[in-house]
Amino acid sequence: MSTIVPAPDALVGKRFDVAVAKMTGESRSKSSELISSGQVRLLHRSSDRSTTLLAGDMVEFDIVDREPEPEPVSMDMAIVYEDDDIVVVDKPVGVAAHASVGWSGPTVLGSLLQRGVHITDYGAPGRQGIVSRLDVGTSGLMLVCKSELAYKEMRRQFSEHEVVKTYHAIAQGDLAQDKATIEAPIGRAKVSDFRFTVTPAGKPAVTHWDVLERFGEATLAKINLETGRTHQIRVHFSSIGHPLVGDHMYGANPRLAERLGLERQWLHAMALDFRHPRTRVWTHVESRYPADLQHALDVLRERREARSEA
């Protein structure tokens, strides 16, 4: 049976074999073979591996003799709150919110289902119950809906910014103020399909932050978002000259990350505050730092103490 999907926005302008590799998770050479054999093709126009993918293209997959690999389960993904309506998980780094083309790792939704947690059928196919997401490279709290009532109400709360989402992040350098707001529109960067940037053509984005601890070379901050743009915290802090420690995509110093033993951006979804969708009781759920972020924080404190004693 054939599967037809629209060309992803992030892959428009790419060679067809490169796009297919991204969409399937196959190597570029394997993707070229699939195109040459006709198992992957563009609808309504001829194509070969070097064809440029255009906006509005429809890609048809008719791949044979390919056994689907079962999705791995994230067994270390803790459930920090659960009742008949919602479940809040502490998502580890390296776990996606839901399945997507080209992603073969564990997901929050798949891991919950395979662990026997009931999830509502409401929501887009493959994204049932999900009303907000975290990036693969960001750890922390994520809420998934188990009932129809919860899905409708929590989707409303998130869309109307009634849910208080609190993040902790370590920004490179010494932030000049103890608290501030960054208000700058964010859109896709022209230099890369996977990066975002502050641009007048972007969507409005508002980030509030308060300093929690200073290290001289870096600053731990508590962050609350009024909006939920892709990579919002990472883009906003980079735009003021203080990229998140470990965030090489947005200009962080790789040597500092190496000294801290950090292999990703120091960013954690620390707390969620919301009205329970059924009881209307104001609910607070809180996380702890995962081991890699805690280690980096400890090293920063040790380095600060060593400098003060020198």
Judged by DSSP in three states, 272 sits in strand
User: Do the beta carbons of residue 238 and residue 250 sit within 8 Å?
Assistant: yes
Q: Which structure tokens are listed for 40? A: 């992957």
The radius of gyration of the chain's CA atoms, rounded to the nearest angstrom, is 21
What b-and-e string marks burial along 124-158, b requiring 16 or more CB atoms within 10 Å of the CB?
A: eeeebbbbbbbbbbbbbbbbbbbbeebbebbbebb
Catalytic residue among 135, 247, 273, 298: 135
User: Do the beta carbons of residue 108 and residue 132 sit within 8 Å?
Assistant: no
Angle at which helix 16-24 crosses helix 28-36, to 10 degrees, equals 110
**298 labelled catalytic:** no
Q: What is the DSSP letter of 132?
A: S
- Spatial neighbors of 150 by CB under 8 A, at least 6 apart, are 85, 86, 120, 277, 278
Place of tokens 């003021």: 240
Q: What Cα–Cα distance (Å) separates residue 242 from each residue in 90, 170, 217, 223, 245?
A: 27, 9, 10, 14, 8
Q: What Cα–Cα distance (Å) separates residue 258 from each residue in 208, 253, 263, 302?
A: 28, 9, 8, 15
The 3-class secondary structure across 9-77, one letter per residue, is HHHCCCEHHHHHHHHHCCCHHHHHHHHHCCCEEECCCCCCCCCECCCCCEEEECCCCCCCCCCCCCCCC
Place of tokens 């280690």: 295
* Residues with a known catalytic role: 135
